[in-house]
């Protein structure tokens, strides 16, 4: 995979994908897909189940050896990935999970990261002593301690209850405002995408089929009329017709 040499010009994108194709057997999942993400930009990716969201994310993470990405995928040197499950090592304590694989003694750095995600004092705990939401916060701390220029997240809140998810949204937004990585957040939750992202993309038929800039100030209120308008447009792009749209069509 090509690596983008950071800081060449202020306008160079953090992520550049051009003409990316991924074929499984007979099936073309990504079809000459193009995508740029600016440094510090927060992009959410929506798409129906099976549309290729995780396939795209894996290609950007360098986890897909078979992708036809030669010269077509350019990402920064420091990339962190967060998945739906926290993927902590059960035989390592929380702090060791955060600093795992980092060179030298990073205990202080790891503790600062845990404190940022609201887990100060939980360093000596074992992963199975934490709730699902807390484990996901450890996963975020583990990502951020590496100071990524690109954060890739594949439905990171999909397994959490609704209240925990709202708290995680606030946390992720705060962390991203502070650390300013470029972000690609895969989600099937339209409201989550609109609450968090600067730009929302819809993946369909192997390409970016629709996109919307979200120019509503943070923190965003889902009661804002612009929110509802963006939601309907994105749902339509996803092939979902809302009840209100159906009524309007009939009127």
Ligand X SMILES: Nc1ncnc2c1ncn2[C@@H]1O[C@H](COP(=O)(O)OP(=O)(O)O)[C@@H](O)[C@H]1O
**Chain residues that interact with ligand X, rule: CB under 6 A:** 24, 29, 47, 49-55
In the list ligand X, Mg ion, none, the entry touching 29 (Cβ below 5 to 8 angstroms by class) is ligand X
Alpha carbon distances (Å) from 43 to 15, 78, 116, 194, 250: 11, 17, 22, 10, 34
Angle (nearest 5°) at CA 248 between 242 and 251? 145
Q: Which is nearer to ligand X, 47 or 76 (CB)?
A: 47
Q: Which is nearer to ligand X, 67 or 145 (CB)?
A: 67
- Shortest distance, position 131 Cβ to ligand X, whole Å: 25
In the list ligand X, Mg ion, none, the entry touching 47 (Cβ below 5 to 8 angstroms by class) is ligand X
In the list Mg ion, ligand X, none, the entry touching 113 (Cβ below 5 to 8 angstroms by class) is none
Q: What is the enclosing helix (H) or strand (E) of 35? A: strand 27-37
Angle (nearest 5°) at CA 125 between 63 and 166? 65
Residue 55 lies near Mg ion (rule: CB under 5 A): no
Residue 54 lies near Mg ion (rule: CB under 5 A): yes
Contact 200, 214 (CB under 8 A): yes
- Shortest distance, position 58 Cβ to ligand X, whole Å: 8
- Shortest distance, position 40 Cβ to ligand X, whole Å: 25
CA–CA separation, 77 vs 48, rounded Å? 30
Q: Which is nearer to ligand X, 68 or 112 (CB)?
A: 68
Coil, helix or strand for 111?
A: helix
Pairing of strands 15-24, 27-37: antiparallel
Bond preceding residue 219 cis, omega within 30 of 0: yes
Q: Which is nearer to Mg ion, 53 or 173 (CB)?
A: 53
- Shortest distance, position 72 Cβ to Mg ion, whole Å: 21
- Shortest distance, position 53 Cβ to ligand X, whole Å: 3
Residues that bind Mg ion (CB under 5 A): 53-54
């Amino acid at each position: 995979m090509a690596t983008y040499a950071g800081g060449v010009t202020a306008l160079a994108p953090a992520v550049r994908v051009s003409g990316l194709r991924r074929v499984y057997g007979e099936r073309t999942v990504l079809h000459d897909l193009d995508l740029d993400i600016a440094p510090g930009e927060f992009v959410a990716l929506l798409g129906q189940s099976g549309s290729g969201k995780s396939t795209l994310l894996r290609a950007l993470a360098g986890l897909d050896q078979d992708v036809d990405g030669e010269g077509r995928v350019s990402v920064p040197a420091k990339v962190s990935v967060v998945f739906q499950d926290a993927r902590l090592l059960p035989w390592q304590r929380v702090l060791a999970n955060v600093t795992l694989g980092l060179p030298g003694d990073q205990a202080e750095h790891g503790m600062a990261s845990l404190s940022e995600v609201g887990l100060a004092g939980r360093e000596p705990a074992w992963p199975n002593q934490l709730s699902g939401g807390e484990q996901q916060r450890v996963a975020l701390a583990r990502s951020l301690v590496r100071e990524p220029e690109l954060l890739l997240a594949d439905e990171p809140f999909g397994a959490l209850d609704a209240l925990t998810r709202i708290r995680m949204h606030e946390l992720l937004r705060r962390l991203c405002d502070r650390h300013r990585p470029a972000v690609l957040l895969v989600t099937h939750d339209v409201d989550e995408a609109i609450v968090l992202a600067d730009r929302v993309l819809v993946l369909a038929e192997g390409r970016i089929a629709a996109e919307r800039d979200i120019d509503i100030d943070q923190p965003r209120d889902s009661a804002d009329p612009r929110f509802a308008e963006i939601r309907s447009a994105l749902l339509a792009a996803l092939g979902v017709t809302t009840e209100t749209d159906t009524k309007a069509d009939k009127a």
